[in-house]
Amino acid sequence: MAISAAQVKELRDKTGAGFMDCKAALTEAGGDVDKAITILRTRGQARAAKRSGRSTSQGLVGSYIHMGGQVGVLVEVGCESDFVARTDEFQQLTREVAMHIAAASPLYVTRDQVPGEDVEREKAIFRAQFEGSNKPPQVIDKIVDGKMNSYYQQVVLLDQPSIRDPKTSIGDLVTAAIAKMGENINVVRFARFKIGEAAD
């Protein structure tokens, strides 16, 4: 099947992947852009895994102040080199993450940062909802796992669906940036401020 330049451009615009990578993914997906995105994301994640051990001692502290000055965000995004940190793509990623934090109010960057007692409390609440339901324990375990994934999407930045594209998580955006820029990239930390909300 012939892949048109317009299809390749559409996929590049959506993913930021290279021309040849997009063409190959579209060919493999039979011209289906959504399938091609999945293929590129899978390959991007494989590339990201290879780079995940590299040090990210460079990067940027990005900021975003929402209209009216009622909400503000500072976020530190790390990368391997000052060269990448100064690129428009990296600065755009940092700003997009900051804007997302302002809108979505995550509490943690990664699942590992969620306190164990919070995780156990949520699991206990979900399990209690099925007491006396006569469902087999393995079925309840699967349901609880699904509900925990939904919980993580509410409180963990990298699990949250992007406010600009709900089909893509913030973690997926970072993974795509790693594949495109060829360096390990990670969100190190963030602080979100809202007028009227006192710090704990």
Domain boundaries, the chain: 5-51, 58-110+156-194, 115-154
Task: Give me the residue label for tokens 């963030």.
Answer: 190
Where are the strands (E) in 33-161, listed by range?
Answer: 58-65, 71-79
Residues with Cβ within 8 Å of residue 52, at least 6 apart in sequence: 184
Task: Compute mean pLDDT per 10 residues along the chain, 200 residues long, and list them.
Answer: 80 70 85 83 62 71 90 94 92 96 96 93 89 82 90 95 92 88 90 80
pLDDT for res 42: 73
Candidate CATH numbers 2.40.30.10, 3.30.479.20, 3.60.15.10, 3.40.50.1820; the one for domain 58-110+156-194:
3.30.479.20
The DSSP secondary-structure symbol of 31 reads: T
Which class does domain 5-51 fall in? mainly alpha
User: For position 103, what pLDDT does the model report?
Assistant: 94
Q: Residue 32 has which token pair?
A: 């289906």
Q: What share of the chain is helix, strand, coil (3-state, %, to 5)?
A: 55, 15, 30
Cα-flanking dihedrals φ and ψ of residue 193, to 5°? -120, 135
What is the structure's pLDDT at 151?
94
CA 148/CA 144 separation, integer angstroms: 6
d(CA 122, CA 58): 36
